[in-house]
Structures are given as C-alpha cells and as structure tokens.
Chains A and B, each alone.
Chain A
Amino acid sequence: MRSKTSFLSAAFLATALSATCSAQTIFPLTRADILAGSLFDFKVEFDSVVDPAQVKVSINGADYTKTLGKSAVLVAKEDDKEVSSLLLRDASIRKPGTYVVTATDGKVSSSVTWTVYNTPVKKAAKNVILFIGDGFSIGHRTAMRILSKGIEGGKYTSKLAIDEMPYMALLTTQGTDSIITDSANAAHAYTTGHKSCVNALGVYCSRAANSLDHPKVETITSLAKRHGMAVGAVTNSEIEDATPAAMVAHTRRRSDYNDIVEMFYQSKIDVMMGGGSPNFLPKSTPGSKRKDDVDYIERFKQADYRLATTKTEMLAAANDPKTTKLLGLYNTGNVDGALDLKFLKKGSVAKFPDQPDVPESMNAALKVLSRNKNGFVLMVESARIDKYSHSLDAERAIYDAIMLDNAVKQAKQWAKANGDNTLILVTADHSHAVSVVGTVDDNKPGPDMRNKIGTYNEAGFPNYPAPDADGYPNKVDVSRRLRVLFGSYPDYYDTFAPHMEGEFVPAIRNAAGVMVANDAYKDAPGAELRVGNLPNIGSGAANSGVHTGDDVVLTAMGPGAQKVHGQMENTDLFRVMAEALALSPQKQAASSKASTN
C-alpha cells in the first residue's frame, strides 16, 4: 500500500503541475468531444496582457488557422482588465481525429486535447424524442410504479412505459465546476454534447463579464435546423426555464429570461410550449416582465407561428394542417402539475382552467412537427418533478412522474404508428435524494405520527384506489400511504401527509436571515419539526431540498438506441442523438460557416 507521505507528495506534485499549466485557459476545455462540423467558439484566456508577437497557438503542431480556417481576434485587455484573450467565434472542424491545442504567450504554455468525431453518413432515425424528467430519480420511479401499476403476488402487474424499453444506461451528471449539476448545464450537456458549469446554457464558463459573451457551442436545435429538420420544445415549466432554454440558449446565466426569449425567436424552433408568458409581453402591457417595448407575441405571429394560450386553442392550431409553427403559452408562471391540474384544482388552476398537461402538449407538438418530411427533434420535459422535489412535496412529484410515463407511452404508440423510425430517449437531468421507505398508516395506534410509519414487513402495501386509465389514483390522501423521504432538507415541519391545499413551502428566512421551518405547517395534525441538514445561513442557505450527484437512468428504444448501455457521461446522450440523425456534415450539407478542414 502506498504510504501517506508519498500520496501527499504526489498530490502536491499534481497541484503544482496543474498550477503551471493553468497559465492559459483554452476553450473548449480539455477532453471535449466535438461533433465534426458543429460550431464552437475558440477562446484562449491569458493571465496577463500579452505581447501579440509572442503569442503562438498551434493545433497538432501547426498554426491553429490551418485547422480552424480563419484567424482569431486578440483582445488586448478583455473587459478593460489587465488580461488578454484570443477569440474566434463560430469555428468548426470537419475532419475527425485527436486535436492537441497548445497556446503560449512566450513565457508559459498550456495544452488541451479535443476529440472530433464523425457520425454515419446515413441517418438511422428519422426523428428523435428526448424526454427529460427534471430531477427524476430512482425513488420517484419506484413510487410511481407502486401507485400506477400495483403489485400482485409480489410482482408489478404491468410495466411502466419508461421501463419497457430495451436499452438502459446510467448517466453521470457532474460538470466542469462541480460534482453537482443544475438543470441548466445538465440539459446543456444533452443539447450540445459539451460539459459546462452550474447556471450555464450553450456556453463554456469563461471569465467574460457579460453573461452573453462566453464561448458558445452549437445546440441540437441549430444542427437539426441546418439539416432541414423541425425542432420542438415542450415543457410544463416556464418556457425560458433551464431545460427548454438549453435547446436554444447561449448564456452563462439561466435567469436571462428576456434574452432567452429572443434566442428562441432567433433559433426558428418550430414548436415551443410551456408557461412563462410575461417575458413575451412589451413592458407597456400590465403583467409584463420585459424591460423594453418589444412585443414577442406579435413577432412570433409575424414569423408565422400560431399562438395558443389554452388547451382548446392548442388543439385547434395543431389540428389545422396548415400549422407548421406553434407557440403555446399556457400560464404566466409554470403550468400546473398533474395532481393540481387533474384532481385537487389547487395551484393556479382557478386562474388558468384550460391548461394542457404534458402528454397533450406533446401530442400537439408531434402533429405539427411531423408535417416536416425531413423529420424532427422534440424535447419533452416533465419539469415539476424537480420543483416539487425541491419543495419536499412527494405526492406532487410522483404524479408528475406518472405524467411523464403517460407522455412516453403515447410517444411510443405514435412512433409505432408512424414508420417505427423514431429514437426515443427517456432520462433525468440530475437526481434528488428521494427514497420510498415504507408506508404511513393513520389507523395505527397512538398519537405520534412517526410511530404510524411502517417499515419492512410492517410497511405492507398502500391503499390508494386503483389507478385511472392514465395511471393516476384519483385519491392521494389515503389512510395508508407511501412514506417517501427526501435526504436533503432545510428545517421544516413534517406533516406525514400530502399537501392538499397547495404545494408545500418547507422553509422561510426569518428576521435574522436564518432559514427556518415555515410555521404555517406547525399546527397541522401530528406535525413534527425536522431540523435541516443543509446550510441555513449565508449564500448557500437552502430553503428547499437540493440536487444530488447520484447517477440518473437513461432508457432508450428505436433506431440508434443500441448505443445506450453501461455507464455513460451525460454528454454522450448528445452523441447518441447526433449519430442516429447523422448530424455531422455530409457533402451535400456542407455549411458555408464550416471550415475547409
């Protein structure tokens, strides 16, 4: 066994080496896998103001312009700081292979290695449907299966649509800055094939001061559009939120909602549906969140988008054979989740009574997108699995997981009826610490709710009513219900019961700035205070559960799905889609922007 001393000196050496080599930061970062012909911004950040005559950047030993086809701009003082940068927008490499990039300012040098990969010439799949259950974890999967399938003789009576797929892999979700990812850089990994950092979409995280100036990478939307395909994004979050935004956006800061609306517009994406209308309204309209008077509703209409603000309008637009572009905005905030939308009528259902659920939006999108004979890429997100898991609202999260399964079930039926040439991928962007630990039985004796928890054989089976045709039990507050626990939480009052009056708000900041349990739940029958296990002060103070670094499951079927197996990086999912759709440049599809390499 290695001695502690030698281990420490090796660690010191590694640190020292990396310090020497970090004189320049080169984007894309080392070990990037780059789709041949895809566009990326090439940037070298020097740690001081450099003498242009001393700067040398080579790729595989020759001047970088030989590979990238054009010259970068040397910015003497980036953002007026005492540092220089070399920047080349919209670079690309068409020839597959290993590329070693070395940059020097005459004093120190650093290197990165990229792998450029090609795709088959002929596409295996005509269409791709990518399902993302935001925050969708193993615990949700088990809980939804119990609620919507039931158990007989110790076996589930049937399979979930997401389970009944022949290929499966574990995806790892860490990013360039952290072992823990957020929905922005996680979705970015799927839509660009590059790793990035928390809060970033379509960019590497550089030192640029402006969130829109970071080195960009091309999205699947742009690539698919370049190949003449249709593209759609369907969600029940705000359409500007991280996962749908990753289809089109390039920003270091996911909260740049107004800019993201413009990016959706510029992307020419064919179908986009979700909530979040205020960022489309000119500031002179009451209810707008814009800072300018640009009317994006009007701009989208002028660009031939049909507008739908309700399910009724959506169905009418989708059924019109002339509709090839559709903008659906169904709520000012997030579209309500399945439990509120279908059963409890809480949330904003009274205000927005005619919202579609995710499967209905997806079906409308499929109708519109399939009018493009070159095929389509559609991202479908069940977004609130994550949001409800943050708020420790297990039942709402589970019902939205069931909604995801319904969407997948209907997509599989659609694919089968429409040529069997659609690659279907179902995954999560990151995990939550969520587990099924047993049941809670109100009929157990005693006043304390914790002593009504059944574990092991005492858990038995819950007594939810048989599910409806869509897999939802029509009653969630049953007497013997699932006990689902979250492993990361702020201080909160555990009520041992579903939140029938609306989404749970576990913690609130108090007058001293400390995150404390929301005492609105203090007097709920049997409520018990849980002292949190997350920071409660300072910038990291958590008012909800947090994402975890656990792997997520990817299941897949259809042409190209056989590439899904074992343990994969989340960025590999992009490659699976790119290969199935043959997205690297073919001779006839050579882009004028692509280099001559």
Chain B
Amino acid sequence: MLRLPSQSGELSRRTFLFSTLVLATPMVGAADATGVDNLLSFDSLYKSVGVLGTVYSDQAKALKNKEVRMRGYMAPPLKPESKFFVLTREPVAVCPFCSSDAQWPADIVVVYLRDTLAPINLSRRIEVTGTLEMGSWTDPQSGFVSQVRIVDAVVHK
C-alpha cells in the first residue's frame, strides 16, 4: 500500500522533484532481441483484471526480466529523493481530499529510473524503456508497494 504522511508537506516535496534536472532522450524504439514485440501497453500487460487479482498476459510473462517499452503518463512524483515514479494509463490528478493517495488505479506500473528525470508535463504521454520486473516489491525508502516495475529505465518524451 502506498503510505503517505498527511497532506501537509507531501505536495511541496513533489513540487521539489520538478525542479530537479533530468536526462531525457528522444522517443525511440528499444531493441527487440527476443522476437516478442517489446512494446507493452496497459491493455496487453494483463490477461484479466479482477476483484480477486490480476493475471498477466502471455506477452508480459515472456518479457519478464527483459527490456520493454511502455507508454503512459507520469503521475505526480511521490518523493524527490527516490528515483521512481508511477506510470499510469491516463493522466492522474491525485486529489488530496476526495480520494486519499492510497487510491491509485490497480494497474499502475512503477518506474525506477537509471538517472534523474527532466521536468515533464504530466499531461503528455511518455515512453519508458527498461527492464520489466513482476511480483510484489515494497520500496525500502518510501514503503510504496508495486506489482509491476520497469527498472533501470530511461524516459523518452
């Protein structure tokens, strides 16, 4: 579960991240060494999304621990000191009072960056290249729980 302190301070730290500098490369296709199309979409990631759990697609399973590309939107970053952000299917407007920050969509992908990230317009779709990881992982610094990650990632605008 995503654990955050109460609203005070949290958003200002998010704002801080935007002032950090970042490496960004143009949007290009990643190498496709496996023969499986390594462009994963939010739809092709799962065979099914259900109340009692999700089932990964055959494509996703075949790409586990391999280099993939995914397109989506960057959610407002959580912590400036960690090099990760949440990639979502649609632009997310995390609302501090109507919905707590625990209410992320179930199908998010967490991106761990190779380098720090250049400021990004959160309403623009981005492409992320990196290694696909699957399985529960609790970020040791933030306590953020993720099921799907792209690690050692590079962001293409």
Interface residues in chain A, defined as those with a beta carbon under 8 Å from any beta carbon in chain B = 135, 182-183, 198-199, 238, 240-242, 252-258, 277-279, 281, 283-291, 297, 309, 329-334, 351-352, 386-387, 390-391, 505-513, 516, 518-520, 537-541, 543-544, 546-547
Contacts and interface: CB of A to CB of B under 8 A. Distances in A.
B41 interface: no
B121 A510 contact: yes
Nearest to B101: A255
B115 interface: no
A444 B139 CA distance: 56
A286 B9 CA distance: 31
B72 interface: no
B130 interface: no
Nearest to A511: B119
Nearest to A517: B123
A509 B95 CA distance: 12
A241 B6 contact: no
A350 B1 CA distance: 25
Given A539-B9, A543-B95, A505 B90 contact: yes
Interface string B1-38: 11111111111101100110000000000000000000
B40 interface: no
Contacts of A506: 93
A543 B123 CA distance: 13
- Per CB-CB distance, the 5 closest pairs between chain A and chain B, nearest first, are A255-B100, A287-B54, A511-B119, A283-B136, A332-B106
Contact of A287 (B11, B18, B49, B143): B49
B119 A539 contact: no
A279 B1 contact: yes
B130 to A, nearest CB: 19
A38 to B, nearest CB: 26
Given A283-B136, A543-B94, A289 B2 contact: yes
Nearest to A281: B53
B100 A281 contact: no
Given A286-B54, A331-B51, A512-B119, A505 B105 contact: no
10 contacts: A198-B6, A241-B100, A255-B4, A283-B136, A287-B49, A287-B147, A333-B103, A333-B105, A505-B91, A510-B121
Contact of A518 (B9, B18, B91): B91
Nearest to A538: B12
Contact of A544 (B15, B53, B98, B136): B98
A507 B52 contact: no
B53 A285 contact: yes
B123 A539 contact: no
Contacts of B82: none
Contact of B145 (A183, A291, A352, A513): A291
A539 B91 contact: no
A242 B100 contact: yes
Interface string B67-89: 00000000010000000000000
A511 to B, nearest CB: 4
B11 A541 contact: yes
Given A255-B2, A506-B93, A510-B122, A288 B147 contact: yes
Interface of B, secondary structure class, is loop
Given A277-B52, A505-B91, A512 B18 contact: yes
B136 A513 contact: no
Interface residues of B, number: 52
Contact of B123 (A331, A352, A520, A547): A520
A240 B103 CA distance: 10
A281 B18 CA distance: 34
A286 B119 contact: no
Given A287-B54, A332-B50, 13 more contacts: A199-B6, A253-B6, A255-B4, A309-B50, A391-B93, A391-B95, A391-B98, A508-B122, A516-B123, A538-B15, A539-B12, A543-B93, A543-B94
A513 B18 contact: yes
Contacts of A544: 93, 95, 98
- Interface centre among A505, A511, A513, A540, by most B CB within 10 Å? A513
Interface centre among B6, B7, B9, B50 (most CB of A within 10 A): B6
A390 B134 CA distance: 34
Contacts of B2: 255, 289
B143 A291 contact: yes
A287 B53 CA distance: 5
Interface in B36-63: 49-56
A543 B18 CA distance: 17
Interface string B114-157: 00000111110000000000111010000101010000000000
Given A238-B103, A290-B1, A291-B143, A329 B51 contact: yes
B22 to A, nearest CB: 10
A547 B147 CA distance: 33
A351 B136 CA distance: 23
A387 B99 contact: yes
A518 B12 CA distance: 21
Given A329-B51, A518-B91, A513 B14 contact: yes
B136 A288 contact: yes
B156 to A, nearest CB: 15
